[in-house]
Amino acid sequence: MSGIFIKALRFAAEKHTLQRRKGNDKIPYINHPIKVVYILNVTANEPDPELLAAAILHDVLEDTCTTEHEMRAEFGDKITNIVLEVTDDMTMSYDDRKRHQIKRAPTLSDDAKKIKIADKIANIRDILDLPLSWSNRRKRQYFEWSDKVIAGCRGVNPILENIFDDIIKEAMKVVPDN
């Protein structure tokens, strides 16, 4: 296992220590980036330690008090730049952030696209599998929006894209359109 990945895993675990995922089970937040790394590495055969480090860190800037400067000092430019690409601008409204993700997706680097696809796969699986208080309408909106984001991320890993296609089909069948 790569030193840079282990360093990133430790860093992410410390930064997300007190956070919990949305849902009634209050699962530790760190489980989510671990799932994203698992999807990339084990399922989609992506071995690059810097990609996997960026994947484990993908929510740190957005969801913790970590600064870009701190991340750059710890992990350098390549990993930090990938994380920045997948980080939402939290000063924007929710709707603007969602529109921005769709618009920006085709311009992302290949590594950022891979993380984005794996992240959406993990999120959709959680929505389907975990007890959430979301209405079917909200779930369906998330699925439809995710499909639009991933449309701009295609062409980087056929395995990831096929997994996404399968999970989005399942999600659309399971959650009615109403």
Give whole-number Cα distances, 115 to 106, 136, 161, in Å: 13, 26, 12
Query: Active site residue: 62, 70, 88, 170, which one?
Result: 62
Alpha-carbon gap, residue 24 to 101, rounded angstroms: 27
Alpha-carbon gap, residue 174 to 13, rounded angstroms: 33
Alpha-carbon gap, residue 97 to 90, rounded angstroms: 8
In the residue annotation, 62 being an active-site residue is answered as yes
Residue 58 — φ and ψ, nearest 5°? Answer: -60, -25
Query: Active site residue: 14, 46, 48, 63, which one?
Result: 63
Containing 98, the helix (H) or strand (E) segment is helix 94-104
| Residues carrying an active site annotation | 62-63
